[in-house]
Structure 1
Amino acid sequence: MFNIVVIASGNGSNFQAVIDAIDSGLINARIIKLISDNERANALNRARSSGIETVIINGKDSNFYPILNDILLSINPDLIVLDGFMKIMPDYIVNEFLYKMINIHPSLLPAFGGRGFYGIKVHRSVIRSGARFSGCTIHFVTSDVDNGPIIEQRVVEVNDDDDEYTLSEKIHEEEHRALVSSIALLISGRYRISGKRVLRLY
């Protein structure tokens, strides 16, 4: 069985999309643990409702990353999914799980990515830029923030009456589909990494 660990800081709607995809048979995997740095994260409630083990690590603890690393090493999952995780992984964790950790970014990378671009700030920047299209990106996590090989992207039109909140809602819907599709690809093993791209093998 393909084992997944999810690390989330907030609502966990993408986490829920993966739970639903597993329950419906769209992907053949199991989520073995939900880790959060926020004891108030709704993702924890979603996990408990689905019988998924949860772990809370105080995000302000100076030993946060060593604790997280020890947990991940003890599990050695096939895949780690970052769902709205608001911290930047240190290189030693990234390198330990290189190409086994993926992130969901709410823009079409490399645009509107990197340090300081997260959550509603991304959508606000897109609106202010005048861009006509935005979207989401599923990518492997590397030490180069938001610049790992791209697995999948989905495009969303930015309408004239959109603000950062309506744009966020539209992109969230595509994030769910893109994440499930990306996990299905990784489970299949029918891909190879070529530079900044993840190529599907047919």
Structure 2
Amino acid sequence: MRLGFLASHGGSAARFLTAACRDGRLGAVPVALASNNSASPALAWAREAGLRAAHLSGAKYPDPDALDAAILAFLQEAGADTLVLSGYMKALGLRVLSAYAGRLVNIHPSLLPRHGGRGMYGDRVHEAVLASGDVESGATVHLVTAGIDEGPVLGQVRVPVLPGDTLATLKARVQATEGELLLGALRELA
């Protein structure tokens, strides 16, 4: 596999998977990362790590179709055959969705379908889990389709919600499971 990444902020999944590729835990090659955020730490990291990197956003491409085409061209020119969303906070266009159908992966910090969909990302997900009174949470790796957080599930890991949990404690426990879950899903996909 030749991995491409899309990230909006820190890109923790891209960093984890790149390290796994380089130390032999994943038989893949990380090739490119694009971000919609010119100040994204993930973008700076990707350049330092030797990945092809680009800032591709609505600011540069106000027409959504042009942005979709630019993202696809960037990934294809880098030779990416599998695409991983690493905290990417924008909806994808039909060109990218079609080109990477069945090879486009995302990780979500809940047990989908619970606490997924539009507006459910980051701390909002953990807050919703705590507010709902759920006794467990976790993480889900899924294929990306046109519906937000609606693609087929590739794997899940369950994490208990403990009495006295706060946003910080629950988030830390879920995040601690995400890298290995994503790694396992990509091994299966390969």
Q: Partner residue of 1:186? A: 189
Alpha-carbon distance change, 107 to 88 in structure 1, aligned in 2, over 3 angstroms: same
Displacement, 1:15? 1.3
Matched letter for residue 62 of structure 1? P
Displacement, 1:77? 2.1
Matched letter for residue 161 of structure 2? V
Q: What pairs with 1:94-113 in structure 2 (closer than 5 Å)?
A: 94-113=97-116
Q: Deviations over 1:75-107 (max 9, x none)?
A: 452200001000111334212321111111111
TM-score (normalised: structure 2): 0.91
The answer to which of 133-142 and 70-79 deviates more is: 70-79
Contact 1:110/1:146, CA 8 A, preserved across alignment: yes
Q: Partner residue of 1:35? A: 34
Distance in 1, matches of 2:105 and 2:172, equals 21
Report the 3-state secondary structure (helix = DSSP H, G, I; strand = E; otherwise coil) of the residue aligned with 2:6. Answer: strand
The answer to which of 103-112 and 143-152 deviates more is: 143-152
- Which residue, out of 88, 105, 130, partners 1:127? 130
Identity of aligned residues (%): 32
Distance in 1, matches of 2:28 and 2:165, equals 36
Q: Partner residue of 1:15? A: 14
Matched letter for residue 50 of structure 1? A
Report the 3-state secondary structure (helix = DSSP H, G, I; strand = E; otherwise coil) of the residue aligned with 2:62. Answer: coil
Alpha-carbon distance change, 155 to 35 in structure 1, aligned in 2, over 3 angstroms: same
Gaps in structure 1 of 5+ consecutive residues: 188-202
Q: How many residues align?
A: 186
Report the 3-state secondary structure (helix = DSSP H, G, I; strand = E; otherwise coil) of the residue aligned with 1:103. Answer: strand
Gaps in structure 2 of 5+ consecutive residues: none
Q: Partner residue of 2:72? A: 69
Contact 1:38/1:59, CA 8 A, preserved across alignment: no
RMSD (Å), alpha carbons: 1.5
Alpha-carbon distance change, 70 to 173 in structure 1, aligned in 2, over 3 angstroms: same
Matched letter for residue 55 of structure 2? I
Contact 2:5/2:14, CA 8 A, preserved across alignment: yes
Matched letter for residue 72 of structure 1? L
TM-score (normalised: structure 1): 0.86
Matched letter for residue 73 of structure 2? D
Displacement, 1:74? 3.5
Q: What pairs with 1:108-187 in structure 2 (closer than 5 Å)?
A: 108-187=111-190
The answer to which of 73-82 and 165-174 deviates more is: 73-82
Distance in 1, matches of 2:33 and 2:16, equals 14
